[in-house]
């Protein structure tokens, strides 16, 4: 069974803390994505990665960075967490060969609360 695994389902952090959200996929996918989901706004793309060590900004990259050192792992980093980063974070992966026609495979999400 193919799987995208996010390291934490629920996190509570304090303002100013550094936060790491980890995502691992076992499908050998080149493309990986980080989204955040907020009520009334839908899924918004933060960053994506075409391949190892490659990254591109999505629609809302401010306050975030990412790391892709291995093909199976894509990390989202909040350098200094703020209350407006309280959200549900979703990781996804996709087979690069199918491009925009390839379905996304999602993790179960990480709900982050910043106090």
Instruction: Tell me the closest approach of the beta carbon of residue 42 to other proteins, in angstroms.
Output: 4
Strand runs (DSSP E) across the chain, as ranges? Answer: 4-6, 10-13, 19-25, 31-38, 42-49, 56-57, 65-70, 73-78, 87-94, 105-106, 110-114
For other proteins, which is the closer residue by CB, 81 or 91? 91
Confirm or reject binding of residue 56 to other proteins (CB under 8 A): yes
Q: Which of 81, 93, 109, 112 binds other proteins (CB under 8 A)?
A: 109
Residue pair 103/45 in contact (Cβ under 8 Å)? The answer is no
Binding region for other proteins (CB under 8 A) out of 15-23, 29-37, 66-74, 75-83: 29-37
Residue identified by tokens 């975030």 is: 64
Residue 74 interacts with other proteins (CB under 8 A)? no
């Amino acid at each position: 069974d193919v799987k995208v695994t996010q390291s934490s389902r629920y996190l509570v952090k304090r303002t100013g803390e550094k936060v790491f959200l980890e995502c691992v996929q076992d499908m050998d996918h080149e493309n990986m994505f980080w989204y955040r989901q907020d009520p009334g706004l839908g899924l918004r793309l933060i960053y994506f990665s075409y391949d190892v060590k490659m990254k591109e900004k999505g629609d809302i990259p401010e306050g975030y960075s990412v790391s892709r050192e291995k093909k199976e792992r894509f990390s989202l980093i909040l350098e200094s967490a703020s209350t407006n980063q309280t959200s549900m974070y979703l990781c996804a992966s996709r087979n690069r060969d199918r491009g925009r026609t390839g379905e996304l495979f999602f993790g179960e999400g990480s709900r982050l609360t910043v106090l």
